[in-house]
């Protein structure tokens, strides 16, 4: 029995070795810890394509997703910092407006009280100033003592300060103090030129100071398109360079890079790149997601085909020829480009021979 077991084991080992050699002969290569070896007269030889790594100057196109937003300072939420009731509306949704144009009227006890205080303080200041000018000559002629004159000047100064305080309180209502009248409702005006893009006003409706702004005016003739670009790609993008925004169905809008972010997003590992675009044709709507295309020139770049890249455990690698028929795995860091190309960030040196195509056979 013992002799039979030993004979069986020897026969099995011989058969496995023969099978392994047969498999290698059939596949045309052998695999070791570091890479692969192509066997002589391997049928794969004609299917493998080698390339020598070299540095070159290229223009790289970066294509990424971006979001459309209004340009900063060109959107105004029209609300009230006080309580009031809407008396009349002068505009409707979609109307163009200019800066300073009246949008609606509001009846507010707070506003009317502020107007009343201003007009009264203005009258008191004018009266005190007139009294000061009238008595200045009497003081110069010695008919009014210095003490009495000082009291007159103090009274005029206090009245002017009180008037200035009430005038500044009217600034809260964004009105011209010279045009206010007691009892008139407040006319709310637009702080910017643009178009009414939201209007939820109800004539007769009551507005509280903490309510959401019922109207929005926006100038969307120029918009900002914010793209999230990989940190490794954003290095060649600079403010002022052109960018192309795709609007769908073959349409494009040209823009210029306004700002390149300096703080990396920890989750996406990207930097924000803001592109300013002319939007006179209104092709770009805030909230849209659109493709953004950037171009950058890179000197001394190493470009290899995507077919040379393989995914290993935790990293990518290429096969580098280090003998007549032997190829060693070499870990690399790469950046994906258009057209089935990869830019090598690290891992290879110029003058190396790599397996550029055909390596797919080794994964079988």
Mean pLDDT of 17-40: 68
- State the CATH number of the domain containing residue 318: 2.40.420.20
Are 207 and 229 part of one and the same domain? no
Would residue 14 count as lying in a domain?
no
d(Cα 84, Cα 285) in Å, to the nearest integer? 33
Are 120 and 244 part of one and the same domain? no
pLDDT digit string (tens) for 106-160?
Answer: 998 888 998 999 999 999 999 999 999 988 888 888 888 889 999 999 999 999 9
d(Cα 230, Cα 268) in Å, to the nearest integer? 8
Q: What's the structural domain count of the chain?
A: 4
Are 104 and 201 part of one and the same domain? yes
The average confidence (pLDDT) of the chain is 86
Are 214 and 95 part of one and the same domain? yes
Are 101 and 212 part of one and the same domain? yes
> 70 pairs with which residues across the strands?
223
Residue 15 clears pLDDT 80, i.e. is over it: no
Structural domain for 292, as ranges: 62-73+220-298
pLDDT digit string (tens) for 294-339?
Answer: 988 888 889 999 999 998 888 899 999 988 888 999 999 988 887 8
- State the CATH number of the domain containing residue 159: 1.10.287
d(Cα 220, Cα 280) in Å, to the nearest integer? 8
Would residue 12 count as lying in a domain?
no
Are 95 and 153 part of one and the same domain? no
Would residue 7 count as lying in a domain?
no
Are 291 and 225 part of one and the same domain? yes
Would residue 5 count as lying in a domain?
no
Give me the helix-helix angle, 109-140 and 146-170, nearest 10°: 160
d(Cα 74, Cα 102) in Å, to the nearest integer? 18
How many CA atoms, within 13 angstroms, populate the side-chain half-sphere of residue 135? 19
pLDDT confidence tier of residue 363, bands split at 50, 70 and 90: low
Would residue 18 count as lying in a domain?
no
Q: Which residues contact 303 (CB under 8 A, 6 or more apart)?
A: 56, 58, 337, 341, 342, 343, 344
């Amino acid at each position: 029995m013992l002799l039979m077991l030993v004979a069986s084991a020897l026969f099995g080992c011989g058969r496995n070795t023969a099978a392994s050699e047969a498999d290698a002969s059939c596949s045309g290569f052998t695999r070791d810890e570091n890479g692969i070896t192509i066997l002589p007269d391997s049928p794969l030889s004609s299917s493998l394509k080698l390339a020598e790594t070299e540095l070159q100057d290229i223009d790289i196109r970066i294509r990424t997703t971006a979001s459309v937003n209004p340009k900063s300072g060109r959107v105004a939420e029209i609300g009230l910092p006080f309580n009031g009731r809407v008396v009349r509306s002068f505009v409707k949704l979609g109307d163009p407006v200019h800066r300073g144009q009246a949008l609606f009227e509001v009846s507010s006890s707070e506003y009317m009280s502020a107007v009343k205080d201003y007009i009264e303080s203005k009258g008191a200041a004018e009266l005190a100033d007139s009294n000061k000018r009238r008595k200045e000559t009497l003081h110069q002629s010695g008919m009014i003592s210095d003490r009495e004159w000082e009291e007159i000047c103090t009274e005029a100064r206090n009245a002017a300060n009180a008037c200035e305080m009430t005038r500044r309180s009217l600034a809260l209502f964004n009105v011209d103090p010279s045009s206010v009248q007691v009892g008139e409702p407040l006319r709310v005006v637009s702080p910017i030129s643009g178009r009414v893009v939201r209007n939820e006003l109800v004539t007769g409706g009551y507005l509280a100071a903490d309510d959401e702004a019922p109207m929005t005016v926006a100038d969307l003739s120029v918009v900002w398109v914010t793209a999230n670009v990989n940190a490794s790609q954003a290095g060649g993008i600079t403010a002022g360079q052109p960018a192309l925004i795709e609007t769908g169905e073959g349409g494009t809008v040209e823009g210029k890079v306004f700002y390149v972010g300096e703080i990396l997003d920890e989750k996406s590992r990207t930097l924000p790149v803001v592109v300013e675009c002319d939007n006179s044709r209104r092709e770009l709507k805030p909230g849209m997601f659109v493709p953004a295309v950037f171009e950058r020139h890179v000197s001394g770049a190493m470009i290899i085909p995507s077919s040379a890249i393989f995914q290993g455990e935790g990293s990518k690698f290429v096969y580098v020829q280090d003998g007549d028929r032997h190829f060693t795995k070499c870990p690399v860091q790469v950046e994906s480009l258009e057209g089935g190309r990869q830019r090598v960030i690290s891992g290879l040196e110029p003058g190396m021979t790599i397996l550029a195509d055909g390596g797919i056979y080794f994964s079988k």
